Chain A
Amino acid sequence: MTTEQPLLRVSNLAKYYGSRLGCADVSFELWPGEVLAIVGESGSGKTTLLNSLSATLEPSAGETLYRMRDGQWRNIYDLSEAERRFLVRTDWGFVHQNPADGLRMTVSAGANVGERLMAVGDRHYGNIRATALDWLGRVEIAADRIDDQPRSFSGGMRQRLQIARNLVTGPRLVFMDEPTGGLDVSVQARLLDLLRGLVGELGLAAIVVTHDLAVARLLSHRMMVMKDGHVIEAGLTDRVLDDPREPYTQLLVSSILQV
């Protein structure tokens, strides 16, 4: 990591639904190329946090500063709708647990990958298709499936296609919500391998929400453990998993198979 500045600075972020707490007092920094895992049980506030960080939700308090490509720091909640949407389809990616939420299911795989290129003004069919083919290859989807719709794909293929669709514009930050959630164990392992390879190769920063500590162990450099809307423990992934300090984290770690 050669850049001296972080990519994301989160301070005192909180989200309430009426009087009910979603998450609160969240502060951290994310550096370029760094993968941060947010772990916790369902209802712990990790998805609320992810949606707030990705500006899908407007938080009740706090700010999230993002270093734009021009080096400017911007609070993402102050961005105009146009700026936010542009950011979301160029410099960011969002990988949903259910690929159907992130893909156009009735549009071919090639167009799914090409859409972001066309959205930023690419108007050469041949180039778009070549780029799509290249990306299908990188996520291990056979070239002859390029004109098939994701409806005919297996769960693992859909998830890989969703990843290709997000990465085609060379984003610097990718949000992932339980990226391996709906998949069989063997398929999960292959996807995690692929993700780890891509993240390393492209120097991506990523924030991964998962309830699966194995995913955190394999993908992330650092992790945050959430409980009842608060971050109760944070640190290097290996440290947290091998030497958990909080009783709750100890319980979490002991309740899964060691990896």
Chain B
Amino acid sequence: MTTVAQYNFAYLDEQTKRMIRRAILKAVAVPGYQVPFSSREMPMPYGWGTGGVQVTASIIGPSDVLKVIDQGADDTTNAVSIRAFFAKVAQVETTTRTAEATIIQTRHRIPEKPLGKGQILVYQVPIPEPLRYLEPRETETRKMHALEEYGLMHVKLYEDIARHGRIATTFAYPVKVEGRYVMDPSPTPKFDNPKMHMSAALQLFGAGREHRIYAVPPHTEVVSLDFEDHPFTIQHFPEPCALCGAREVYLDEVILDDHGGHMFVCSDTDHCEDRRAAGHVGPLGVAQKAAE
């Protein structure tokens, strides 16, 4: 019988980490460009964050503090699972607090609290190619990127407006990075797009199944595509968070009963807890002490 496998720090062997770091460096050097890399099988399924996990595993060191969110929350099952994975294979400190983390791996959200210098946001990406649903062929989309042929992207936005009177793309809303590459921001809601622009943090994107890594270095221009007479706008929620009263944040809808009763709460759980700890109370919330 084969002896029980011994795994390296952060699971991946050092050769693989070096290969991924080279891809990351290239991605940082060419913002928004999708760098092919030799994605490994990971102990979690493709589509469940293998790209993000490989990026995190390649950049994480023993002194890092890791936060993992899914849908903005630290306690969704997949976030819990990935956090537990790194706690086990890299013995790093983990946190749910955005401000304390040096690396934040995310699926579908960018934290509400602006990220700072020295922080790295690692996105899990299912389909890295923003042109994929318009042109299924890799050989063709590669050419379109190389030649900056992005007319087709606007055809899609045109169709939205013609059909719905507005741009009906609400998440994975395409952006142009540093005036050159059109990039898929991963399926974050378009609400989060402005946070990418000129962020002080390094943003890394890993797509494991599709073998691509791309990046937005700190202080890089990220512009959401639009028309002059139909400018990009983000979602606004009419009500504040029911628990902490926050406005201008992204909210999850929670169904309370089967008579259509519902409320909205912060999708970013850490942000919500922070605010409640600071004494903010929403319409359905209770003061922090009483809630304990």
Query: Does B93 lie at the interface of the complex (its beta carbon under 8 Å from any beta carbon of A)?
Result: no
Mark contacts of B147-181 with chain A using CB atoms, 8 A cut-off: 1 yes-contact digit, 0 otherwise: 10111101100110111000000000000000000
Residues of B within 8 A of A115 (CB): 151-152, 155
Residues of A within 8 A of B257 (CB): none
Q: How many residues of B contact A (CB 8 A)?
A: 19
Mark contacts of B199-231 with chain A using CB atoms, 8 A cut-off: 1 yes-contact digit, 0 otherwise: 000000000000000000000000000111110
Residues of B within 8 A of A110 (CB): 158, 162
CB-based contact B159/A124 at 8 Å: no
One of B146, B150, B158, B226 near A128 (C-beta < 8 A) = B158
Residues of A within 8 A of B163 (CB): 108, 147
Query: Does B143 lie at the interface of the complex (its beta carbon under 8 Å from any beta carbon of A)?
Result: yes
CB-based contact B147/A85 at 8 Å: yes
Q: Which residue of A has the minimal Cβ distance to B148?
A: A82
Mark contacts of A105-125 with chain B using CB atoms, 8 A cut-off: 1 yes-contact digit, 0 otherwise: 001101100111011100111
- Closest approach, in angstroms, between the C-beta of A211 and any C-beta of chain B? 32
Assuming the A-B contacts A81-B143, A85-B149, are A111 and B228 also in contact, with contact meaning beta carbons closer than 8 angstroms in the complex? Answer: no
One of A85, A89, A114 near B158 (C-beta < 8 A) = A114
Assuming the A-B contacts A123-B154, A123-B228, A125-B230, are A111 and B147 also in contact, with contact meaning beta carbons closer than 8 angstroms in the complex? Answer: no
Q: Which chain A residues numbered 85 to 141 have a C-beta less than 8 Å away from chain B?
A: 85, 89, 104, 107-108, 110-111, 114-116, 118-120, 123-126, 128-129
C-alpha spacing A111/B230, complex, angstroms: 16
Residues of B within 8 A of A108 (CB): 159, 162-163
One of B143, B149, B227 near A119 (C-beta < 8 A) = B149
User: CB within 8 Å of A: which residues of B?
Assistant: 143, 146-147, 149-152, 154-155, 158-159, 161-163, 226-230
Q: List 22 A-B contacts (CB under 8 A).
A: A81-B143, A108-B159, A108-B162, A110-B158, A110-B162, A111-B155, A111-B158, A111-B162, A114-B155, A114-B158, A115-B151, A116-B151, A118-B151, A118-B154, A119-B149, A119-B150, A123-B227, A124-B227, A124-B228, A124-B229, A125-B229, A146-B162
